[in-house]
Amino acid sequence: MAESKEIKAKDKKEIATPGEQIKPGPIFAPEVDIFENEHEIVMLADLPGVKTSDLNIDLRDDTLTIMGDVNAAKPQNEDDIVVEYEVGHYLRQFTLSEVIDQSRIEAKLEDGVLRLTLPKVEKATPRKITVNA
């Protein structure tokens, strides 16, 4: 990669959920990268503050839901001086157009980044049928 650019500060995108949430706090849509190759669809999502145990990934029919809970890291005895970003939960949903092999889905959460690998169902290998005369 050539000379890298500077990252711009962005506010998190707050989303409204259809139902009312039981847990208090705002809900944000995490930023994602999605790409595919012939075998799989890979999704990378930024989920800072989410622990493995607080991450929920759900694939039902063709709807993929990523849900991450963030438990406030700030102890009670601290006073805020500057607040530039809000802490909240993460939620994002996608509709998949490919058929996914559910048994081989892989998810890895490292340094606040989720890498989700969704293998496509292998198409039946074309079989050549020889016609006997």
Partner 1 sequence: MMIRRMFDFPDVSLRRQMEDFDRLRRQLDVLNGRFMGSGDLQRTGVFPLINLSENKDAYFVRAELPGVKANELDIQATGNSMSISGERHIPEENGSAKYHRREREAGKFSRMISLSNEIDPEHVEAKMENGILTITLPKAEKAKPRQVTVK
List interacting residues with partner 1 (CB under 8 A): 1, 4-11, 31-38, 42, 44, 46-51, 73-74, 77-87, 111-113
Residue placing its CB nearer to partner 1 in the complex, 12 or 129: 12
Least separation, in Å, of the C-beta of 26 and partner 1? 11
Q: At its nearest, how many Å lie between partner 1 and the CB of residue 133? A: 41
Q: Could you tell me which of 41, 40, 21, 33 has the C-alpha nearest to residue 90?
A: 21
The least distance separating partner 1 from the CB of residue 129, rounded to whole angstroms, comes to 30
The minimum distance between CB 69 and partner 1, in angstroms, equals: 12
* Nearest-5° Cα angle at 115, 111 to 121: 165
Beta carbon nearer to partner 1, 11 or 61: 11
Return d(Cα 116, Cα 114) in angstroms, integer: 6
Bridging pattern class, strands 27-29 and 89-95: parallel
- How many CB atoms lie under 10 A from the CB of residue 133? 3
